[in-house]
Amino acid sequence: MTATHPQLVLSGMQPTNTLHLGNYLGALKNWVRMQTEMPCLFCVVDMHALTQESGYAKADDVRRATREVTAAYIAAGVDPKRTPLFAQSMVAEHAELAWIFNCVARLGWLDRMTQFKEKSGKHKERSSAGLYTYPVLQAADILIYKATHVPVGEDQRQHLELTRDIAQKFNNDFAAPDFFPLPEAVITGPGTRVMSLRDGSKKMSKSDESDYSRINLTDDADAIAQKIRKAKTDPLPLPQSEKELEGRPEADNLIAIYAALAEEPVAAVLAQYGGQQFSGFKNALAELAVAKLTPIAAEMRRLMADTAEIDRILKAGAEKASTIAAAVMADVKRIVGFVG
């Protein structure tokens, strides 16, 4: 990032399903902190939700999830009076810039994206072109505001590198040095990669078939406690040092979740629970997770009872975001040679 660009944070989540603990610890929790440190814009990336078949199949689900994700942002502590919240599709410049970036990004760059490989699986040729160019739209989401900081989970690191490559190539190709900033991924804390509760080698994901693989932000106390008690572990007691967590992905995951929720270093959690059996630790983790997450669920329920108010918040946020986006897009059009 160069000093010429004022600091601005942009991030977003897909309305593909209810948000989960990974979304919260990997990204949302950091958003709440960052809004007090620099100007932020947070969106619900509903256009990205169409890249997966489950997204476009049920329009009502996308609409509902867009409102629910907005409610989750607010319930977790994002203040819409301070920070504009909006849906990506409400600001047309995201799509407009994405086209130009499609002409900047190279096929070879997109071919290397591991998320596309994971999400397309064995049926690459049946995947949407949108899934393939997803990271290009993501670059547009960020750069249409000239954002400099992007708080995300570890899984998004590669996409952020691509965003920087696109920004750099645009600046070079169109002889517009420094026009776009090279945004930084902000990946902090022990919850940057929360893994599935059923399989410590897979990330916790909204689209995992098993609801027991994740803790949803809407889960009640019983569901949270039950999912933690049923979480996969190994037969050994908890280790006493971080080194001994290597090769024990499930133990590593549960300890990291505890540390992130308690806002303590992993070493402090191990000092307290190292040498003990999982059963006692799981009870303590369940208690902590219930204490931290159920107030968010309650607030989400309260907010979702008035969807008209959520829609008003999104509309007001989109108006503010559009002002920035329109100015950047006008400059982009001039730079690439469009007459209008």
CB 182 within 8 A of CB 168: yes
Q: Compute the least distance from the CB of residue 141 to ligand AQP, in Å.
A: 10
327, amino acid identity: A
The DSSP H or E segment spanning 40 is strand 40-44
- Give the number of residues in contact with ligand AQP, rule: CB under 6 A: 19
For residue 282, state whether it binds ligand AQP (rule: CB under 6 A). no
**Tokens linked to 219:** 């889960």
Q: Write down the catalytic residue from 119, 169, 320, 333.
A: 119
Q: Compute the least distance from the CB of residue 157 to ligand AQP, in Å.
A: 9
**How far, in Å, are 24, 233, 289, 330 from residue 29 at the CA level?**
6, 26, 14, 34
For residue 163, state whether it binds ligand AQP (rule: CB under 6 A). no
Q: What is the DSSP string of 110-151?
A: HHT-HHHHHHHTT-GGGS-HHHHHHHHHHHHHHHTTT--EEE
Active site annotation includes 146: no
Q: Compute the least distance from the CB of residue 277 to ligand AQP, in Å.
A: 26
* List of residues 6+ apart from 329 with CB closer than 8 A: 93, 96, 97, 144
Taking CB under 6 A as the criterion, the residue among 156, 163, 171, 253 binding ligand AQP is: 156
Question: Looking at beta carbons only, is 22 or 84 nearer to ligand AQP?
Answer: 22
For residue 239, state whether it binds ligand AQP (rule: CB under 6 A). no
For residue 83, state whether it binds ligand AQP (rule: CB under 6 A). no
Taking CB under 6 A as the criterion, the residue among 29, 67, 198, 206 binding ligand AQP is: 206
CB 93 within 8 A of CB 326: yes
Active site annotation includes 206: yes
For residue 190, state whether it binds ligand AQP (rule: CB under 6 A). no
Using DSSP's 3-state secondary structure scheme, residue 11 falls into strand
Active site annotation includes 320: no
Binding footprint of ligand AQP on the chain (CB under 6 A): 13-14, 16, 22-23, 26-27, 152-153, 155-156, 192-194, 203-207
Residues forming the active site = 119, 203, 206
